[in-house]
Amino acid sequence: MSNWDVELEFVEGTSSKFWRARVDGSTLYVNYGRIGSAGQTQPKDFPSQAVAQKEFDKLVAEKRKKGYVDAGGTAASVDEDEVDDDREPDDEDDDDVPAIKPAARPAPAAAPRVPGLRMQLDAGGRKVEATLYLDGKTVRMDSAETHANPDAAKKAHDRLKRLLAAEGYKEG
C-alpha cells in the first residue's frame, strides 16, 4: 500500500505529470513532478493536524478541478464550491514542471504500486524522510532532507554531492 493519501496524474498533450500528498501529524507532504521521475517533495508544517488536513483537502480539490485524475483511474467529481478561489498561490507550481513528450517516454501503464519502507531521522536541525522501494531487480529511494536554515541545507547538498561523486556518480 502506498504511503501517500492521494496519488493524482495529469496526462494531456505533451504534459505528463503527477501530484501526490499525505498528512502526517501537523505536516502536509506534497510530492510532484514528471511521471517516471521521483519528483520533489515539499513538507509544509501547520499549527495542527486539522489545519493540515483542511489544506490537503483544498489542494486535492484544486488539482482535480485542473483535470488531475486518480493514478491509474478516472477523474472523481469535484464540487466547484469546495475550491477556495481567494487563496494564495501554493509554493509548488507543478505547471512549471517540464513535460515529457509522449514519444520520448510514454506514461506508465497502471501497474500495481510497489509498497515502500518509510524511514525517518530527526537529528537536531536536520530531518530526513526516506522511502525505499524494492521491485524485482530495481531498488529506488525517494528522500527529502529539511534543515534549520538555507545555509545548513546548502552544506548538506554539497556534502551529498561530494559523497555521490566519490562513489562514481556523474552529473547528467
Residue 7, domain CATH: 2.20.140.10
pLDDT at 57: 95
Structural contact between residues 71 and 18, judged by C-beta atoms closer than 8 angstroms: yes
Q: Identify the band that residue 152 occupies on the pLDDT scale cut at 50, 70 and 90.
A: confident
Least-confidence region, from 8-17, 31-40, 91-100: 91-100
Please indicate, yes or no, if residue 75 is contained in any of the structural domains: yes
Instruction: Based on the fold, state whether residues 2 and 63 are members of the same structural domain.
Output: yes
Which residue from 133, 152, 131, 153 is spatially nearest to 143, judged by alpha carbons?
A: 131
* Residue 102 within any structural domain of the chain: no
Give the DSSP letter string of 112-153.
PPPPEEEEEEEETTEEEEEEEEEETTEEEEEEEEEESSHHHH
Q: Does 151 have pLDDT greater than 90? A: no
| Same domain, yes or no: 14 and 74 | yes
Q: For the chain, what is the domain count?
A: 2
pLDDT, mean over the chain: 76
Residue 97 forms part of a structural domain: no
Averaged over 35-45, what is the pLDDT?
Answer: 91
Domain that holds residue 43: 1-89
Do 34 and 80 reside in the same domain of the chain?
yes
Cβ 108 vs Cβ 7: under 8 Å: no
Instruction: Give the highest mean pLDDT range of 8-12, 76-80, 95-99, 157-161.
Output: 8-12
Residue at a domain's end among 89, 122, 137: 89
Tell which residue, 108, 123, 95, has the closest CA to residue 15: 95
**Which pLDDT score, from 0 to 100, does residue 2 have?**
59
On whether both 145 and 70 belong to a single domain, the answer is: no
Average pLDDT score over residue span 92-99? 45
Please name the amino acid found at residue 140.
R
